[in-house]
Amino acid sequence: MKPLFAALALALASGPALAADADSASSHPFSIRDLVMMDRVGDPQLSPDGRYALFSVRATDYTANKGVTSLYVLDLNKPPQPVKVVDKGSSARWAPDGKSIYYTAPKDGTAQVWHRAFDADASGKGLSLTVRTGEAVTDGPLDVNAFKLSPDGSKLLLSYDVFTDCADLACTKERLDGREKDKASGVVYDKLFVRHWDTWSDGRRSQLYIADAGSASQPVLLSRGIDGDVPSKPFGGDDEFSFSPDGQTVFFDARIAGKTEPWSTNFDIFSVPADGSATPKNLTAANPAWDANPLVSPDGKTLFYTAMKEPGSEADRFGIMAMDLASGATREIDPSWDRSAGALQVSADGKTLYTTTDDNGQHPLFAIDVATGKATMLVTDGSVGAFSAGASKFLLTRDDLKRPADLYTADLKGKGLKQITHYNAKRLKGAQMGDFEFFTFKGWNNETVQGYVVKPVGFKRGKTYPVAFIIHGGPQGAMTNSWSYRWNAQTYAGQGFAVVTVNFHGSTGYGQAFTDSISGDWGGKPLDDLKAGWSSALSKYAFLDGDRACALGASYGGFMVYWMAGNWNQPWKCFVDHDGVFDARAMYYETEELWFEEKENGGTQYDHPENYERFNPVNHVKDWRVPMLVIHGGKDFRIPDTQGLGAFTALQRRDIPSQFLHFPDENHWVLKPQNSVQWHETVNAWLKEWTAPKAK
């Protein structure tokens, strides 16, 4: 799960000339071309015997304007040499015997689950790894959203988008086909969501089914009577449903929609017999806040899950809970650990839970002792993106501000960390990057705040450089020691800019009180921190040219750019705003997830209009003076593009130098490679225009 604005504003990036020579090792400043053409390693899955690493690699087909994901297996007992085993597929999982995999891939225009078996190698003690086409085990008329294999490998949990009044999948397909043929295009809605993230509602729900793994042609509905999505939309995955160890019970989380869905974060954990013989039972009805990520202990006696305590909040701390399945009694395992847990994995003996979370500018892997709640950091100094816990080792992805993700192994205490893949090695060898350093300073209320500075490529002591001052989104997010395909500091360093960023009050990884402190105070404490951080960076790093600096931000960072335009515009030569909130009052009525607006502003706009006006950028347009580039996506339903249009209108009417870049086919992010090329070219040109040295 991610906070409302936690996703920053763009994804892939590239440069204008993208020839096949993407692996060139010739020395050059890191560029957008380097970023877009990098292979993305992800979804690590350790085989049951711990010998093989299964993972995905996404490459960019720039001509086709999309990413292409393939599946690889690496024998950890041999010299590292990944073998592609599925040409185009994703979401791969090992069968319990470790001799085959299940994955999703297209078939006849729909996403289906496939099975791919491995032969024994020549020794008879390992697997023969070759590229080979698998066999489709689902053949339904609809896309499979997500799946999970039962512990014995005999069953598959399957998620499909269906009309809940339909008796089977074919009914949903027939209804969709009928709509396509209908000449009338109008749709009548009688409740929200009318649209969510980047999609207009068509009345379907993601529902959970079960089927035989060998032949899934007649799936059985498990989420009967659940007016909600399993997994949740728009970002839910297979961490939201699971089997009991004996395969007899299925657990999942869901938010009952009704007419309160846009202002409710009340997800609950449900259990249901795996044969579908009964309707789901709500296990966490007593908690009106968010319960998520159900996981049963190996002995089948305890349900582990994560839970918030504050209704209506998406950025409350996720504590780790344990429920005795016999009695229903619950306890919080980690009440004294002031971090918000991610999805969970459990050790083979059930005594330890593993999770990742933001922590002081890093995103480490932690072990949580089930008995005591003690949290132990296992892998840090960067970001652990995903991991798979085996009987004796971890398989994980790790990245940082100078390196994209690769696969690593470590023992269960985090020792012996070893990099086992080296994707992008040639690109990294040829691309020069800027060194970085974290710094701290006294921010609002004299409290310690952290940020980091990235030096430009080609840095020389004694010289000064223009600055890109980047403001993160969320606002309950953070700029961490991690690699990004959205706001990547190295793309600015490669253009000759120094980068400064601040994890202001409201950021994650510094304790829940620090995170909560931004609610109701969007333009207060964070602005104090940004001012103090900028002043501290200028005094600490002599190479920063404070007279040649531009501020950039997306989502909440975009709100802050608009707010700074009227309340702190003195230091800046230009602004860049992507998908920002320009008019807080209109935002309440235009966005979809109302719980966020109501939490951040202390209630509805009509009950508390003064709260929405307190930090409303539109009220300060008369003080705008700095040139601004405004960017917005036409399919952004989180912060609709009317917000960007309003800001551009204000800039033009005030005769302030400005540009408006609109992507009709993008949402809150910019996902298409060639759109990202245009994004970066436009942003870089804007920064260079306004930070160019003055003629003498």
**How confident is the model at residue 59, as a pLDDT?**
96
Instruction: Say how far apart CA 356 and CA 514 lie, in whole Å.
Output: 19
Buried b (16+ CB within 10 A) or exposed e, 340-364: bbbbbbbbeebebbbbbbbbbbbbb
Better-predicted residue by pLDDT, 388 or 122: 388
**Residue 142 resides in a domain:** no
**Residue 278 resides in a domain:** no
Count how many Cα atoms sit within 13 Å of the Cα of residue 498 in the half-sphere of its side chain.
25
Mean pLDDT within 77-106: 95
Instruction: Say how far apart CA 675 and CA 663 lie, in whole Å.
Output: 8
**How confident is the model at residue 613, as a pLDDT?**
98
Better-predicted residue by pLDDT, 626 or 676: 626
Return the number of other C-beta atoms located less than 10 Å from residue 458's C-beta.
13
Q: Catalytic residue among 56, 555, 658, 676, which?
A: 555
What three-state secondary structure class fits 364?
coil
- Catalytic site includes residue 150: no
**Residue 133 resides in a domain:** no
**How confident is the model at residue 2, as a pLDDT?**
41
Is residue 19 pLDDT above 60, yes or no? no
Instruction: Say how far apart CA 673 and CA 23 lie, in whole Å.
Output: 18
- Catalytic site includes residue 555: yes
Among 24, 89, 21, 27, residue whose Cα is nearest residue 54: 89
Instruction: Say how far apart CA 432 and CA 473 lie, in whole Å.
Output: 27
Close Cβ partners of 203 (under 8 Å, ≥ 6 residues apart): 163
Chain segment 205-245, per-residue pLDDT in tens: 999 999 999 877 789 999 999 999 999 999 999 999 999 99
Whether omega before 80 lies within 30 degrees of 0, making that bond cis, reads no
**How confident is the model at residue 216, as a pLDDT?**
73
Domain boundaries, position 514: 432-691
**Residue 604 resides in a domain:** yes
pTM value > 0.85: yes
Mean pLDDT within 140-153: 97
Chain segment 383-421, per-residue pLDDT in tens: 999 999 999 999 999 999 999 999 999 999 999 999 999
Q: What is the secondary structure of 97-145 as a DSSP string?
A: TSSEEEEEEEETTEEEEEEEE-EE-TTSSSEE------EES---SS---
**How confident is the model at residue 79, as a pLDDT?**
83
Buried b (16+ CB within 10 A) or exposed e, 517-536: bbbebbbebbbbbbbbbbeb
Q: How far is CA 639 from the centre of its chain?
A: 17
Q: Can you name the residues that pair with 136 across neighbouring β-strands?
A: 114
Task: Give the tokens for residue 296.
Answer: 């049963």
Instruction: Say how far apart CA 298 and CA 350 lie, in whole Å.
Output: 6
What three-state secondary structure class fits 359?
strand
Is residue 10 pLDDT above 80, yes or no? no
Count how many Cα atoms sit within 13 Å of the Cα of residue 544 in the half-sphere of its side chain.
23
Task: Report the chain's mean pLDDT, rounded to a whole number.
Answer: 95
**How confident is the model at residue 25, as a pLDDT?**
59
Chain segment 631-644, per-residue pLDDT in tens: 999 999 999 999 99
Domain of 639: which CATH number? 3.40.50.1820
**How confident is the model at residue 13, as a pLDDT?**
31
Q: What is the secondary structure of 547-567 as a DSSP string?
A: EEEEEEEETHHHHHHHHHHHH
Lowest-pLDDT range of 193-197, 451-455, 483-487: 483-487
- pLDDT over 70, % of the chain: 96
Residue 132's pLDDT band (boundaries 50, 70, 90)? confident
Residue 1's pLDDT band (boundaries 50, 70, 90)? very low
Among 444, 455, 550, 457, residue whose Cα is nearest residue 503: 444
Q: Are 284 and 332 in contact (CB under 8 A)?
A: no
The H or E element spanning position 354 is strand 352-356
**Residue 515 resides in a domain:** yes
From first CA to last CA, the distance across the chain in angstroms is 52
CA dihedral angle for residue 389, residue 395, residue 399, residue 404, rounded to 10 degrees: -140
Mean pLDDT within 459-481: 98
- Catalytic site includes residue 668: yes
Q: Catalytic residue among 313, 636, 658, 680, which?
A: 636
Q: How many helices (H) and strands (E) does the chain have?
A: 12, 42
Q: Catalytic residue among 363, 472, 505, 668, which?
A: 668
**DSSP code of 151?**
T
Domains identified in the chain, total number: 1
Is residue 694 pLDDT above 90, yes or no? no
Residue in the block written with tokens 């993700």: 405
**Residue 573 resides in a domain:** yes
Lowest-pLDDT range of 56-60, 402-406, 677-681, 682-686: 677-681
Instruction: Say how far apart CA 150 and CA 250 lie, in whole Å.
Output: 9
Mean pLDDT within 75-86: 92
Chain segment 252-267, per-residue pLDDT in tens: 999 999 999 999 999 9
Q: Are 320 and 368 in contact (CB under 8 A)?
A: yes
Instruction: Say how far apart CA 368 and CA 387 lie, in whole Å.
Output: 15
Instruction: Say how far apart CA 42 and CA 482 lie, in whole Å.
Output: 14
Q: Are strands 83-86 and 544-554 parallel, antiparallel or unpaired?
A: unpaired
Residue 696's pLDDT band (boundaries 50, 70, 90)? low
Return the number of other C-beta atoms located less than 10 Å from residue 181's C-beta.
6
**Residue 165 resides in a domain:** no
Mean pLDDT within 454-463: 98
Mean pLDDT within 41-57: 98
**Residue 18 resides in a domain:** no
Long-range contacts from 73-81, C-beta under 8 angstroms, 24+ separation: 73/127, 73/129, 74/407, 74/420, 74/421, 75/51, 75/126, 75/127, 75/129, 76/50, 76/51, 76/52, 76/409, 76/420, 77/51, 77/126, 80/420, 80/421, 80/422
Chain segment 279-301, per-residue pLDDT in tens: 999 999 999 999 999 999 999 99
Instruction: Say how far apart CA 670 and CA 487 lie, in whole Å.
Output: 11
Is residue 537 pLDDT above 60, yes or no? yes
